[in-house]
Structure 1
């Protein structure tokens, strides 16, 4: 029995991701920027940003849809137009249903005004019919999405108050309502498809997600991909993100997508609109708010997600929301274009990450062992890096359960040593037995066995 468990576990560790890595950009703001005078350049030559995104390695365009917004942007007509442009250059479409007339996020999930007074049964029918209508329109113009997201940052549900599930509403009745809303939304999407059509359903929260996704999936909601946002000013370090991905992936065994992210190239401003990010305290210690800092952040983020067993990809949010004389932008210092509309170097990180991040040919992860072995209660995990690399170390029990994760860090080349004190992630002492540790550096990894005696 031990032999089969161990073989199965090592096979699990050796699995490679078969999904295409998502190099995405959310271009929902583009039409409004362009129609208010926004122009984009590469080396001083005016360009179509969608075409240049494709040329630089982007493979997916995320587009949000609002039900009946006050302006003619992000409505169905606008989405159909942008979808056509994205499809014409060969980008996959990632449709983001907000089920609102305006921004939907963890603090607000306002119903469309047209649905405000509907009873719950009629609301569910409206969600289904609307979802069906949107997908049908996209399909009829040959721009069927590859991904469809049901709600945006639905940490506490959607279509409040009917689908609100936080605080005093965290009860069976409200979760049942949220289940019905999700089921009708997904049924509306799927009912627009023919037998040969395929797409993947995404659920999205701002961060964390174990509580929300656990309840959602236990109720039988058919979700293909779990997604989170990652903005360092709100969601912490890259190590925090890696732990979040690990926690979701290990619990639910589903791919994890970073549906939104961004980083500043400056803390300065170019218009009279207050920027969302403008203080040193809002950025990561290791990444300055400079063009180089933005490049390094995005490079390391893509590397982290790609090297994680569950990481599916990232979508950079509003890389095109530059400010114009007619249209201010609170996001102008987090775009992938400078204040003159010139393309920034950070876009180049997408060039070679379509399938995987390639390691330098002479990179080696060598001389891996732990001592003492057997041990009680401390052992030293030893390894050599031939070059600088991001390193992740994980300890598993013999059944494949994660026992301890060490911080995911960028380490200099040379001989390295990490101590494990036979405690789990909760600080509790673990029982005697066989444990397996996995050391990942770049796109290389090795697993070894160690024995804890007591």
Structure 2
């Protein structure tokens, strides 16, 4: 009897050892097969107005009609990067260094990357205007370069972004008149090079973007050929149908052509589309007519979603596309429905006129 028990015990021990061995092998095999998460495709939203909107007391709601912080809503939707503009000395403090630093901290705490748009101006900078900050307007060119280097160094130290734009939509340069690309080409390139060198020295892992408004091949090529001596990583392009044409396929062509010519990754840095042509305040909207729409994409919640999905798909299908950013998604009519100085983008936001999240946010899924 004791002999049989001894044999049974040995058999049980062997079985247990074999079972443990197999379990380890399976565990090791499963560990090897776990896919590495690749989230390098940029799905970004510019939410620069958010601090001002929150100060106003406006409440935003998620798709379940529950009050929710916009950063949380975007994170849950799949957004992985937040774009924030920075002005030098804005009149009301909004989009200044202190506010942007605080917003960037919240973004990082939420687990998203920070993409900083440095306007090198006290206010809006775009193809039509690139005003030098008041503080710098009487500086010699040598001193202006020093100011740019010092300011850029401060930005990197204080905010430490993952991506940084040297200027915003700098089709004709920045810091006019001294940095005008057509009238003062050498100086314009020198200012860009100064900012780039500062970033490389302070934050070698930070990606540098040069941002151009438009997707027309000849214009884009003229610009990026001009600035080819500048050290940067990403080409950023703005694409709004109202200004840049209604053929969305041009986006893919522009990305592939520029990417191949200049060996850069390309990002649609700004785009947007309406979910309605109605108004929610007394401020004229940028897009408000049927004639401004793209065929196949009506001004409806689903039409807005379909447009952004088309942009995302075109970027993904292109050889050099790295991502996209939606502009004005936060810019609801937060100053009241009778504000004459309210939002010009209320009908292109991520929220309907009751501040409830729209289906367009589904496009941010991975």
Q: Which residue of 2 aligns with 1:342?
A: 356
Please tell me whether residue 253 in structure 1 is matched to residue 267 in structure 2.
Answer: no
Displacement of 1:176: 1.1
Please tell me whether residue 24 in structure 1 is matched to residue 29 in structure 2.
Answer: no
Matches within 5 A, 1:130-145: 130-138=151-159, 144-145=160-161
Matches within 5 A, 1:308-327: 308-326=318-336
Please tell me whether residue 83 in structure 1 is matched to residue 83 in structure 2.
Answer: no
Displacement of 1:187: 2.4
SS of 1:276's partner is coil
Pick the aligned partner of 1:198 from 202, 205, 209: 205
Please tell me whether residue 242 in structure 1 is matched to residue 263 in structure 2.
Answer: no
Displacement of 1:192: 2.6
Pick the aligned partner of 1:215 from 226, 251, 265: 226
Q: Which residue of 2 aligns with 1:232?
A: 241
| TM-score of the aligned structures, taking structure 1 as reference length | 0.69
Q: Distance in 2 between matches of 1:19 and 1:131?
A: 28
Displacement of 1:179: 1.4
Q: Which residue of 2 aligns with 1:159?
A: 175
SS of 1:156's partner is coil
Matches within 5 A, 1:284-299: 284-299=294-309
Pick the aligned partner of 1:33 from 50, 53, 60: 53
Q: Distance in 2 between matches of 1:99 and 1:251?
A: 28
Which structure carries more relative contact order (alpha carbon 8 Å, separation 6+)? 2
Displacement of 1:189: 2.2
Larger Cα-atom Rg = 2
Q: Deviations over 1:144-177 (max 9, x none)?
A: 21111000000000001111123xx2xxxx2210
Q: Which residue of 2 aligns with 1:264?
A: 274
**Contact 1:132/1:191 (8 A) holds in 2:** no
Q: Deviations over 1:61-88 (max 9, x none)?
A: 0011000000111000010111011111
Displacement of 1:41: 0.3
Q: Distance in 1 between matches of 2:326 and 2:256?
A: 21
**Contact 2:181/2:189 (8 A) holds in 1:** no
Q: Which residue of 2 aligns with 1:329?
A: 343
SS of 1:93's partner is strand
Displacement of 1:290: 0.5
Q: Deviations over 1:99-136 (max 9, x none)?
A: 00000000000000001111100000000000001111
Q: Distance in 2 between matches of 1:186 and 1:303?
A: 31
Q: Which residue of 1 aligns with 2:12?
A: none
Structure number with higher helix proportion: 2
Q: Distance in 2 between matches of 1:92 and 1:344?
A: 23
Please tell me whether residue 146 in structure 1 is matched to residue 162 in structure 2.
Answer: yes
Q: Distance in 2 between matches of 1:231 and 1:113?
A: 30
Q: CA RMSD in A?
A: 1.3
SS of 1:40's partner is coil
Displacement of 1:19: 7.8
Q: Which residue of 1 aligns with 2:150?
A: 129
Q: Distance in 2 between matches of 1:267 and 1:214?
A: 39
Q: Distance in 2 between matches of 1:282 and 1:190?
A: 41
Q: Deviations over 1:389-425 (max 9, x none)?
A: xxxxxxxxxxxxxxxxxxxxxxxxxxxxxxxxxxxxx
Q: Which residue of 1 aligns with 2:16?
A: none
SS of 1:314's partner is strand
114 and 315 in structure 1: CA distance in 2 versus 1, 3 angstrom threshold: same
Displacement of 1:349: 1.4
Q: Which runs of 5+ in 2 are unaligned?
A: 1-37
The number of residue pairs the alignment matches comes to: 319
SS of 2:288's partner is coil
Q: Distance in 1 between matches of 2:334 and 2:234?
A: 36
Displacement of 1:348: 0.5
Please tell me whether residue 73 in structure 1 is matched to residue 94 in structure 2.
Answer: yes
Please tell me whether residue 279 in structure 1 is matched to residue 293 in structure 2.
Answer: no
Q: Which moved more, 1:199-208 or 1:323-332?
A: 323-332
Structure number with higher strand proportion: 1
Q: Deviations over 1:308-354 (max 9, x none)?
A: 001110000121111124562111000011011100011011113xx
Displacement of 1:37: 2.4
Structure 1 segments of 4+ aligned residues over 4 angstroms from their partners: none
SS of 2:322's partner is strand
Q: Which residue of 2 aligns with 1:175?
A: 185
